Amino acid sequence: MDNLSLKEIQEAFSHMIYQKDQEKKFIASIEPGGTLSREEAIGVYQRAYKARFTEALGETFESVWWVVGDPQFFELAEGYIYSHASHVYNLSSYGAEFPQFLEKNKLTQTYPFLSDLATFEWSFKELFHTEDTQGIDAEGLAQMAEDGSLIFRFKKAFHLFSSPYDVFTIWGQRKNKNKEHAHINWKEKTSLMIYKYQKEMHIKKLKEYEYALLTLLYLGTPLAGALQRVSQEFHSLSPQNISDFFAFLFHARVIESIDK
């Protein structure tokens, strides 16, 4: 490929990867080295390219791989790689649209939770790479929480997740080599709070009222208004339930600041 810069060669190769109709034209422009033919040289690069991106997807979406098995995951990865060009330099950032890609795949007929599972894994990965900050401690929050007009601001290393499927239990089985013995009631609804505490990842399963309350607070609803709306929806909710939950939030230090 005469008089082209390395960047232009890389762009041409990338275009050839994603636009298979350009393959013959690209191969014809290559001057092979050593004993490899043009086709053989390009084949080496194609296999290496696909292998690297498949490995990146496998590292992020480990539980999706565990669910569908090797042949189907490799097929999914290939389909995604050839339909989603990579514009990232860090392979760990590759795969943001994989959950949406799975929504349209026929495998969802067998595994309807697949896209939600991938969404959870992507959220976990992103939070893992999010810088942790020190939230307000319990004493500081307790002194302010008497004011019902307070608005809580949560730290970046905090995420709420909800699904009609028990993707958390499925994710927890991803290291289990005996998949046939993993009995999972995946039809159970799951709400989760994913956060960092002292730079370590934590996941807490939330009750329905806890998820509803946290969602309102996360969206900026003042404390009193959030508590009122949740108590109207969950009639069996007691002051002790609320007290215990806020005690946990304070201990987990997920609230970064408070607006008055």
- C-alpha R_g of the chain: 24
The one-letter amino acid code at 55 reads E
Q: What is the largest CA-CA distance in the chain?
A: 78
Per-residue pLDDT reduced to its tens digit, 83-93: 877 655 566 77
CB of 136 closer than 8 Å to CB of 89? no
Query: What mean pLDDT value characterizes the chain?
Result: 82
- Which residues 6+ apart lie within 8 Å of 212 measured at CB? 229, 230, 233, 234
Distance between CA atoms of residues 67 and 39, nearest Å: 35
Distance between CA atoms of residues 49 and 43, nearest Å: 10
Distance between CA atoms of residues 183 and 169, nearest Å: 10
pLDDT of residue 49: 67
The CATH T-level fold of domain 133-260 is Outer Surface Protein A; domain 3 (3.90.930)
Distance between CA atoms of residues 148 and 133, nearest Å: 25
> Hey, where are the domains in the chain?
1-129, 133-260
Phi, psi at residue 253, to the nearest 5°? 55, 50
Structure tokens, 21: 């109709």
CB of 149 closer than 8 Å to CB of 260? yes
Distance between CA atoms of residues 193 and 181, nearest Å: 28
pLDDT grade for 141, boundaries at 50, 70 and 90: low
Q: Which of 5-9, 180-184, 225-229 has the lowest mean pLDDT?
A: 5-9
Per-residue pLDDT reduced to its tens digit, 206-238: 999 999 999 999 999 999 999 999 999 999 999
